[in-house]
Each structure stands twice: as C-alpha cells, then as structure tokens.
A and B are shown apart, each in its own frame.
Chain A
Amino acid sequence: GQSLEQPSEVTAVEGAIVQINCTYQTSGFYGLSWYQQHDGGAPTFLSYNALDGLEETGRFSSFLSRSDSYGYLLLQELQMKDSASYFCAVRGSNDYKLSFGAGTTVTVRA
C-alpha cells in the first residue's frame, strides 16, 4: 500500500514563500501529483513529477527526489486566493490508483 505525510497547516503573509513537504512510502512509484482544493470546492490539478527535479508553473513549483521518497510544492508570491488545502498524491506502479495525503491547509494573512 501507499502512505503519504504532509504538514497539516501552514500560515504565511501575502507575498511570502511557502514550501509544503510530502514524504511517501509506496510499493513501486510512478509519479507525484499535487492538487489544490478551496474550501467546499473540487480539487484541481497543479502539477505532476515523474522524474527527479523541479517543475515550474508560474508562481508554483514542484520538486521530486525519488531516492529520498520526497517531494515539495513551492508557492511563491503568496496571494490571498492561495488560501486552500493542498494535497500530494502518488501512484504506485503495482496498480492504477492515486493515493492522497491528508492535505495541508495554507492560510494567507494580509
């Protein structure tokens, strides 16, 4: 099976940088994804890393180290609208399911 760990909460001010770490244990590994969910809404896809390294998409970047079973999501130039929950998810190579972490609630203060 798969297990993922990420911090439960992070608070930061507008304009700051936040890093959300995710460590995982899987039976096989295919890739690490990140999703954003605003309160009461549907999760939306942010990024996917299958190979080691940094992927940058605008203000958000995602990093993966397969050897360390570790990844992170970096939120830069924080805005109030970035207040949401962020989930990491992994797909092991033994099945086709995505397993999600419990989520990190990011609160952005003025």
Chain B
Amino acid sequence: DGGITQSPKYLFRKEGQNVTLSCEQNLNHDAMYWYRQDPGQGLRLIYYSQIVNDFQKGDIAEGYSVSREKKESFPLTVTSAQKNPTAFYLCASSIDGTGIYEQYFGPGTRLTVT
C-alpha cells in the first residue's frame, strides 16, 4: 500500500526543546513538502524539496530546518527559535516539483509546545 506516513500523530514538548517530525513516502515521488496549519486557516508552506539533497525555504521557514538525504524521507525539525510552534504539521509529496501534479498528504502531526 503506497502512501505517506507521519509520526507521531500527537507530540508534546516543553518550550526550548527542538523536536523532529518524521515524514516517509513510498510513492517514489521526487518532491516533498512541509506545511503548517493553524486553526481555521489554510496551509502555509515551510520547506519543500524537489529532489534528494536539495530543498528550498517556503513562506514561513524561520525556526525550522529540514534534510533530504533519501528520496523517501523528509524530516522537519522545529527548533527553539520558532516562536509559536504549536500547530498541525502536514507533509506532502508529488511526482515532481513542477506544481502541476496533485500533492498527496500524510495524516499530519499535531504538535503542542507548553
């Protein structure tokens, strides 16, 4: 069964701690994305990667970091520099990075920082 997995579904952290969110896909997609969603709002792009070992900042990259060492994996680290990290984080992938093809989303990780 092909798809995108994100773990964990719920994550709780104390302020000042870095936390890494996992995203894995077995769809053989080249492009992967991280979005943040706040209550009642749309999706805002944090980082995206069109190919292994390459990634670009999205609209709200400050306080986040990513890596893309393998095609299947695109982990997101929420650092202590991110001022309001509590949110719903969604990972997505698409066949390529042209934006033409649909994006497939994982189930999301709900991060709560207190």
Tell whether A pairs with B: yes
Interface, chain A (partner B; CB < 8 A): 30-31, 33, 41-45, 48, 50, 87, 91, 96-103
Most buried by A among B58, B99, B100, B105: B99
Tell me whether A43 and B99 are in contact (CB under 8 A). no
Give the tally of cross-chain contacts (CB within 8 A).
Answer: 56
Tell me whether B107 and A41 are in contact (CB under 8 A). yes
Pick the contact of B99: A31, A44, A87, A103 (CB < 8 A).
A31
The CA-CA distance from A44 to B41 in the complex, in Å, is 16
Chain B interface size, as a band, is 20 to 34
The CA-CA distance from A1 to B108 in the complex, in Å, is 26
Tell me whether A100 and B43 are in contact (CB under 8 A). yes
The CA-CA distance from A103 to B37 in the complex, in Å, is 11
Residues of B within 8 A of A44 (CB): 105
Tell me whether B100 and A31 are in contact (CB under 8 A). yes
Tell me whether A42 and B43 are in contact (CB under 8 A). no
Tell me whether B98 and A96 are in contact (CB under 8 A). yes
Tell me whether B105 and A43 are in contact (CB under 8 A). yes
Residues of A within 8 A of B50 (CB): 96
